[in-house]
Amino acid sequence: MISEKKWIKLWIVMTILVPIIALLNYFIDPNGMNNKVIIDGINSSKKTNTGYSYRFKTNRLVDGKFDTLMLGTSRIGVMDPTVVDTYTNGNTFNLEAPASITEMHYKLFKYALKYNNIKNVVYGIDFMAFNGSRTLEKTFSQFNGLNNKIANGEKISNYDLYFNLDTTKSSFYVLYKNLTNQKIVAEKFLQNGMRVFNQYIDSLEKGTYSYDKRMEFTFHEYYNNFNGIYKNYNYSEEYLKYFSKIIQECKENNIKVWVYIPPMYNLHFDSLKSAGYYDEFEKFKRELVKITNYIDFTGHNTITNNSDNFWDSAHLRVKMTKLIMARIFNDKSADIPQDFGVLVTPENIETHLKNLRGQVKKFDLEKMLNYQNAL
Amino acid sequence: MLFNSYEFIFIFLPITFLIYFYLNYKNFIQLSKYFLLFSSLFFYSWWNIAYLPIMLSSILFNYIMGTILTRENTLFFKRRTILIFSIVINILLLGYFKYSDFFLENINFAFNTNIGLLHLALPLAISFFTFQQIAYLVSSYRQETRGYKFIDYSVFVTFFPQLIAGPIVHHKEMLPQFEDKNNRLLNYKNIALGLFMFSIGLFKKVIIADTFSGWATIGFDKAEYLNFLEAWITSLSYTFQLYFDFSGYTDMAIGLALLFNIVLPINFNSPYKAVSIQDFWRRWHITLSRFLRDHIYIPLGGNRDGNFRMYTNLMITFILGGIWHGAGWTFVLWGFLHGAALVTHRIWKQIGGNLPTWLAWFITFNFINISWVFFRATEWSSAIKVLSGMAGFNGLALPTAFATKLAFLAPYGVTFNEWLNNIDGKIIMFPWILVGFIIVLFFRNSSEMLNNFKLNYFSLIWASIAFLVSVLSLNKVSEFLYFNF
């Protein structure tokens, strides 16, 4: 038995551990959310910050340092903003939202506008972003949790991340790895918002990278029966309105906007037909051109036929940023394959779609989706 | 403000506690009451200050009516008329905010009309403070509330530990405690007990209920695809979520009240140990059962007018109890099922029926688990889909590892892949459900822990770790289920 006063005092002493742990988490900053204190051998090598995409990106935006935005899904996320800088003479932020829908693009775009004097937008728009079966409430819990704050343009605090058991575990992990001189290899967002696949780069250097396995894994992410990105694809007019609003607001605010459909590896393109989504894929393009012209990089072409240009079936390697941006910004000095990227307008849309339909090859999606192989 | 939020735990609670006892220490008794009232109103307004005038109007109205009802002679109207008028106003207020759209939807459906819905936001805690005040009015009518001051009454209704989701307290058990001079001083035993209970409640909510919550949500979202195992995991997850969520909230409320030397009534007594439906309702949401018994079942006649009348009264009481939880036919059905189960149980007892304890528990638990499906489902069809899965109509899927050994089951429709895919299934669900059963069936419940509380290092470490782990797991602040009711 101990006295009542002693019990209470000891309980309070124990609970003081909470702010101490929070402070430790703040300084170690295992996911690189604040980068306030970086000490070699303590916390210079960190875990990924991509688990907190929206916090990280909105935190960067509130500094008001950017005049150019790259908008879209992770396919634009892997593109290098510094390449865009060379064309816009500005400071570009990659506001990629992974696997997102246009509603999220619109809200993030408005958020960026609130804090930054945006003059240019490069918008990589994806077919997946119009799947009405995927909603903020059911599919994007992380964004949904911050939805009101993002929609209201509020600054997002990270203090709750420091009062967190997972962060605490990560802090000890980071501390251990740094103290024992072991480098943590993890996917990361740079300060300009670009997504870097450090783990792929590392395994490529070690010779252990398998494109086929990554590709199979990606196909599973897109088509699996549980939460595949294309599952129950249902083209959403509502999501088109968000896209349209972004273009409209760019016009109203004298923001230059470049729109493109990112390239996908040729098998990914073929798989849309196998999955029965090709009509909707064409509808997506037809509806898009009613709002704005765009460059379409999909289909079979010199770049998409070469797996060395991709990390998986959906994501280009960063070196391809130059080619993409050269085509988008119509850089005559660049050596771009002729078949890579077609400017789509209301006048040529049908010819273009007919041409692409002719490129589609038969693809055994079921075989690819054998999850055992992907693992 | 949620109990399981940083602002409540680290700012609101310590400040309120320290100022309240400082004022009492300085003998500013009245001021301390006003401060407690202000704190509770601040706590309530944190969600949406627009709700505050509704609650304050309700408090003022009921206090005035209660005061009139305590008088021997009233002008113009009989006391009984005033009581009925007051209760009707309370029910109309609750009905307007809670049931308008439900009523209009049914009118539109029945008469093929197209009356626009009101889409009113439900003022927080309205179901709770309305019931609490109806009980007060009835007591006033019985001349049991004479002499309460408005400030005392307001503190009784708004006292923040019990304001949002109960327990539904009675003025007889609350107001004397606020009046007791001894309760105005720091009581270290109560503080220790309060911290202990709050820590346990927080752990139940944050660590246990919120874990089950994720699985229940995903299962009900995918209701149409659930196979046998997925459907059972979904329903059991909700059954455990509801218990740990609500009883966790109640534990926190009891603990918080103890910090202020106020003892709240217990609300749960290991309900899933119940061996009959009657037993269940003596253990689950005890203060609601008490209210329904005293203010609906007994006034209807209770069991005084023969069996048929008693069965009718039970059915009415439980259907009303069902609809109190929410404006929807699934809640009505849930209440109906429980009423019917109680009637069946009464008949069974009258004919001398008896079952082995394990079988009685098994039937009771399964009935409760199945009836929660109606309680949780947003639509009738969704409930039926989950129940179809539980009945095996959507087949059974097992891990691929069993494909060879149990191949003989394949002709019966058993498959061996993607066995928990619809609920993003992980093997960890099974031990969690097992732990859930062990806790609800074999562990002491919180009130038993409170009664057996010992000031030793074991209770200290247990409470501290529960608090520490819970606070460090608060990053996904989630609301309590019973806030919706």
Which DSSP letter does residue B296 get? Answer: I
Catalytic residue among B171, B325, B338, B345: B325
A163: closest chain B residue by CA: B472
pLDDT tens, position by position, A83-114? 999 999 989 999 999 989 999 999 999 999 99
Note whether B421 contacts A163, CB cutoff 8 Å: no
Q: How confident is the model at residue A225 (pLDDT cuts 50, 70, 90)?
A: low
pLDDT tens, position by position, B73-131? 766 778 888 899 999 999 999 899 888 988 999 899 888 888 888 788 888 888 889 98
**B424 inside 8 A of chain A by CB:** yes
Note whether A15 contacts B460, CB cutoff 8 Å: no
Q: How confident is the model at residue B37 (pLDDT cuts 50, 70, 90)?
A: very high
**A4 inside 8 A of chain B by CB:** yes
Chain B residues whose beta carbon lies within 8 Å of the beta carbon of residue A370: none
Sign of the Cα torsion A63, A64, A70, A73 reads: positive
Active-site residue flag, B325: yes
Q: How confident is the model at residue A142 (pLDDT cuts 50, 70, 90)?
A: confident
**B455 inside 8 A of chain A by CB:** yes
Mean predicted confidence (pLDDT) in B257-262:
95
Token pair in block for residue B460: 């200290």
d(CA B366, nearest CA chain A) in Å: 28
Mean predicted confidence (pLDDT) in B416-437:
81
Query: Shortest CA distance to B69 belongs to which of B139, B149, B172, B174?
Result: B139
Chain A residues whose beta carbon lies within 8 Å of the beta carbon of residue B459: 7
Of the partner residues A7, A17, A225, the one whose CB lies closest to the CB of residue B418: A225
Helix, coil or strand: residue A69? strand
List the alpha helices (DSSP H) in B142-271: 150-158, 160-163, 171-179, 188-203, 210-221, 228-259
Token pair in block for residue B343: 């009637």
Neighbouring C-beta atoms of residue B72, cutoff 10 Å? 6
Neighbouring C-beta atoms of residue A369, cutoff 10 Å? 19
Check residue A375 and give its pLDDT: 39
Q: How confident is the model at residue A250 (pLDDT cuts 50, 70, 90)?
A: very high
Residue B355's contacts (CB-CB under 8 Å, 6 or more residues apart) are: B363
Q: What distance in Å separates the CA atoms of residue B242 and residue B254, rounded to the nearest whole number?
A: 18
Q: What is the pTM of this model?
A: 0.79
Residue A92, H or E segment = strand A92-96
* Cβ A135 vs Cβ A143: under 8 Å: no
Say if residue B365 is exposed, middle or buried (CB neighbours under 10 Å; 0-12, 13-18, 19+): buried
Interface of A with B in 8-67 (CB under 8 A): 8, 10-11, 14-15, 17-18, 21
> One-letter amino acid identity for B395?
G
d(CA A357, nearest CA chain B) in Å: 34
* Cβ B269 vs Cβ B465: under 8 Å: no
d(CA A167, nearest CA chain B) in Å: 9
Q: What is the ipTM of this complex?
A: 0.81
d(CA B192, nearest CA chain A) in Å: 6
d(CA B189, nearest CA chain A) in Å: 6
Token pair in block for residue A45: 């090598």
Q: Is the pLDDT of residue A119 over 50?
A: yes
Q: How far apart are the first and last CA of chain A?
A: 55
Neighbouring C-beta atoms of residue A157, cutoff 10 Å? 10
Check residue B484 and give its pLDDT: 45
Note whether A161 contacts B475, CB cutoff 8 Å: yes
A164: closest chain B residue by CA: B472
Of the partner residues B455, B475, B477, the one whose CB lies closest to the CB of residue A1: B455
> Which residues on neighbouring strands pair with residue A261, listed in sequence order?
A296
Interface of A with B in 196-255 (CB under 8 A): 224-227
Say if residue A127 is exposed, middle or buried (CB neighbours under 10 Å; 0-12, 13-18, 19+): buried
Chain B residues whose beta carbon lies within 8 Å of the beta carbon of residue A369: none
Residue A124, H or E segment = strand A120-124
> Which residues on neighbouring strands pair with residue B458, listed in sequence order?
none
Residue A354, H or E segment = helix A349-359
Q: Is the pLDDT of residue A206 over 60?
A: yes
